[in-house]
């Protein structure tokens, strides 16, 4: 058996990470991963952790408060032209 008993212990630790068990207790797993956006249809622009170190609503709280389109996906924001002067920015 490759890895022996130590592999089993390691695998149990990995399986427990998802539930927040172990060091750094809490939602460690979700807090340390980023979403792969793909086509952007399933990724919320403000709420999901998809760019940078945290969701954009935490990084830019004032803009989030002012935004009318808080529930838009990344695909919707891109379609509405999110570049400077684009229609995605409704305040």
- In a shared domain, residues 8 and 39: no
Q: What does pTM read for this prediction?
A: 0.58
CB 3 within 8 A of CB 19: no
Range of the domain at 6: 1-33
Give the pLDDT score at 1: 46
- In a shared domain, residues 62 and 75: yes
* Residue indicated by tokens 């032209």: 81
- Model confidence pLDDT, tens digit, residues 3-60: 555 556 666 666 666 555 555 555 655 665 566 778 889 999 999 988 888 899 999 9
Contacts of 33 (CB under 8 A, 6+ apart): 49
- In a shared domain, residues 74 and 49: yes
Quote the tokens at residue 39.
């086509």
Question: Into how many domains does the chain fold?
Answer: 2
- Model confidence pLDDT, tens digit, residues 59-69: 999 999 999 88
Give the pLDDT score at 79: 85
């Amino acid at each position: 058996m490759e890895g022996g008993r130590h592999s089993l212990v390691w695998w149990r630790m990995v399986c427990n990470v998802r539930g927040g068990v172990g060091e750094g207790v809490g939602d460690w797993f979700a807090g340390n991963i980023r979403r792969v956006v793909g086509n952007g249809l399933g990724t919320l622009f403000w709420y999901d952790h998809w760019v940078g170190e945290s969701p954009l609503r935490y990084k830019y709280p004032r803009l989030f408060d002012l935004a009318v389109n808080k529930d838009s996906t990344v695909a919707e924001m891109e379609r509405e032209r999110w570049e400077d002067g684009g229609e995605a920015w409704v305040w």
